[in-house]
């Protein structure tokens, strides 16, 4: 590949990366990376270009962490998570073209304001839980949630960033738990410090509890100049809510900061609490993966039509979707196959596929409703509780050619066995006649 040197801050001209991105000024610097303002020359859209030096990363043994971050960010496409557009590389550098989030860190807003009004804190907290719950539904645990890793876009929506310390469900040991101690001390769950193993989802919820406390109070719940003393406070759950906390907010924080992970509140119960559901949402908050959480935003979605054009697949997407050219082992070492789902090509237009899915939803047992999912997809969500909550199935559409659509279907929430039964009994029969196989013998691809 052609080697491209990023511009220095003082450079008068602008470098062009791979003929596609014009690199501008430096937005930020880290130990191993710089972030530049960049512009996509084809679309004119501004992005944040993170440039990582391979040599430095390899020297400190962090290449696996970089690969994991790439893999995670391609999996977790969600309105409240910073989007990774594409990854490029030269002989010495890796380039991440990422969503440009202009509003800065949520931490900076807290530092300026001291603390947030309760309704504002609830608005951001809902979006945080939406993103975290979605990650957990994909088997991804962030493990470093804190206000510094929460960004705000130019209209004030929260975006979760920095998945460098994240873990997959496949990283658990035979005891079903994660064992790597990581995270920021003031936000880390007591069981993570204990080194006896921990559930990634419950540990993330503890961190969410610390974040909620900080949003409402303007300071940390567990503070001490001595790190050992602070850890002892964390293990005991030794904190006090300020007097300005409402009684409902106090109860939510206490349930989240329960030092016993087995009795700590879950997302499904959290989103049903009066405090979480209280008052109108200030701005549209996108639905989390769990069915209960999605109820908070259902009113915003009701009646909307799918008007966006399906995303056109570039080479990166085609490679990642192709069964024969699956490069996921490069970025998902030890994970095996990605989560189950099904994918098929069709000559049916997007509106036709959506009509089929709406038909499935109306006929299927358990009653399903169809809502918009992201910019180029729909979501079928059951109204009856299953073994692991309500089943939800997401379908995303991609244009391969003017008359060919690729539909990617996967479980978005609920039990895997119930999902497989739904696909075999309801979904496949309803879509069978619109599937366009590549040959007479080839049918729907299952992954």
Has residue 5 been placed in a domain? no
Say which CATH number the domain at 428 has: 3.30.310.80
Mean pLDDT score, 256-268: 95
Tell me, yes or no, whether 62 and 111 share the same domain: no
Question: What is the span of the domain harbouring residue 273?
Answer: 106-301
pLDDT band at 262 (very low <50, low <70, confident <90, very high): very high
pLDDT band at 160 (very low <50, low <70, confident <90, very high): very high
Say which CATH number the domain at 242 has: 1.10.510.10
The pLDDT of residue 411 is above 80 = yes
Tell me, yes or no, whether 95 and 143 share the same domain: no
The pLDDT of residue 295 is above 60 = no
Say which CATH number the domain at 42 has: 3.30.200.20
pLDDT at 372 (0 to 100): 73
pLDDT band at 102 (very low <50, low <70, confident <90, very high): confident
Is residue 144 annotated as a catalytic residue, yes or no? yes
Tell me, yes or no, whether 322 and 404 share the same domain: yes
Tell me, yes or no, whether 390 and 418 share the same domain: yes
Tell me, yes or no, whether 144 and 227 share the same domain: yes
Q: Between residues 432 and 191, which one has the greater pLDDT?
A: 191
Helix spans in 148-303 (H) = 190-194, 200-217, 227-236, 247-256, 267-270, 274-277, 291-301
Tell me, yes or no, whether 324 and 389 share the same domain: yes
* pLDDT 10s digits, 312-352: 554 444 444 444 333 333 333 344 434 456 778 888 888 88
Residue from 144, 199, 204, 408 carrying the catalytic annotation: 144
Has residue 236 been placed in a domain? yes
Has residue 10 been placed in a domain? no
d(CA 226, CA 96): 38
Are β-strands 341-346 and 404-413 bridged in parallel, bridged antiparallel, or unpaired? antiparallel
pTM for the structure as a whole: 0.60
Ranges 28-32, 169-173, 275-279, most confident? 275-279
Q: What whole-number percentage of the chain has pLDDT above 90? A: 31
Domain boundary among the residues 70, 99, 128 is at: 99
Rounded to the nearest angstrom, the gap between the alpha carbon of residue 435 and the centroid of all alpha carbons in its chain is 30
Tell me, yes or no, whether 123 and 249 share the same domain: yes
Number of domains in the chain: 3
According to the annotation, is 54 in a ligand binding site?
yes
Tell me, yes or no, whether 123 and 76 share the same domain: no
Helices 291-301 and 118-137 cross at an angle (nearest 10°) of 120
Tell me, yes or no, whether 173 and 208 share the same domain: yes
Whole-angstrom Cα Rg for the chain = 23
Tell me, yes or no, whether 293 and 364 share the same domain: no
**Secondary-structure breakdown of the chain: helix, strand, coil percentages, each rounded to the nearest 5:** 35, 25, 40
């Amino acid at each position: 590949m052609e080697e491209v040197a990023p511009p220095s801050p003082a450079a008068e001209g602008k470098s062009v990366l791979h003929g596609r991105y014009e690199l501008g000024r430096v937005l930020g610097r880290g130990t191993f990376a710089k972030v530049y303002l960049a512009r996509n020359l084809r679309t004119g859209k501004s992005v944040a270009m993170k440039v990582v030096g391979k040599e430095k990363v390899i020297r400190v043994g962090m290449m696996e962490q970089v690969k994991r971050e790439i893999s995670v960010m391609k999996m977790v496409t969600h309105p409240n998570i910073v989007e990774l557009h594409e990854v490029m590389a030269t002989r010495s550098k890796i380039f991440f073209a990422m969503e440009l989030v202009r509003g800065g860190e949520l931490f900076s807003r807290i530092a300026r304001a001291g603390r947030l009004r309760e309704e504002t804190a609830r608005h951001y907290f809902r979006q945080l839980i939406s993103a975290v719950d979605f990650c957990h539904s994909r088997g991804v645990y962030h493990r470093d949630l804190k206000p510094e890793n929460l960004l705000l876009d130019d209209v004030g929506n929260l975006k979760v960033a920095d998945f460098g310390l994240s873990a997959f469900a496949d990283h658990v040991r035979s005891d079903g738990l994660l064992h790597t101690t990581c995270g920021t001390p003031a936000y880390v769950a007591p069981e993570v410090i204990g080194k006896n193993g921990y559930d990634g989802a419950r540990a993330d919820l503890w961190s969410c509890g610390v974040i909620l406390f900080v949003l409402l109070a303007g300071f940390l719940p567990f503070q001490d100049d001595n790190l050992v003393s602070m850890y002892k406070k964390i293990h005991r759950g030794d904190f006090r809510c300020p007097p300005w906390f409402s009684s409902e907010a106090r109860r939510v924080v206490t349930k989240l900061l329960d030092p016993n992970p087995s009795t700590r509140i879950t997302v499904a119960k959290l989103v049903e609490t009066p405090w979480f559901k209280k008052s109108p949402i200030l701005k549209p908050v996108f639905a989390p993966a769990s069915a209960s959480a999605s109820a908070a935003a259902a009113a915003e979605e009701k009646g909307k039509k799918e008007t966006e054009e399906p995303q056109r697949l570039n080479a990166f997407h085609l490679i990642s979707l192709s069964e024969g050219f699956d490069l996921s082992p490069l970025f998902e070492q030890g994970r095996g196959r990605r989560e189950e789902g099904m994918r098929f090509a069709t000559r049916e237009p997007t509106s036709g596929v959506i009509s089929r899915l709406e038909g499935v939803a109306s006929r299927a047992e358990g009653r399903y409703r169809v809502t918009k999912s992201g910019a180029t997809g729909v979501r079928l969500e059951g109204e009856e509780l299953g073994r692991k909550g309500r089943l939800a199935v997401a379908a995303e559409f991609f244009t391969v050619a003017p008359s060919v659509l690729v539909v990617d279907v996967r479980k978005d929430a609920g039990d895997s066995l119930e999902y497989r039964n739904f696909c075999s009994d309801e979904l496949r029969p309803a879509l069978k006649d619109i599937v366009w196989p590549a040959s007479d013998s080839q049918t729907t691809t299952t992954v």
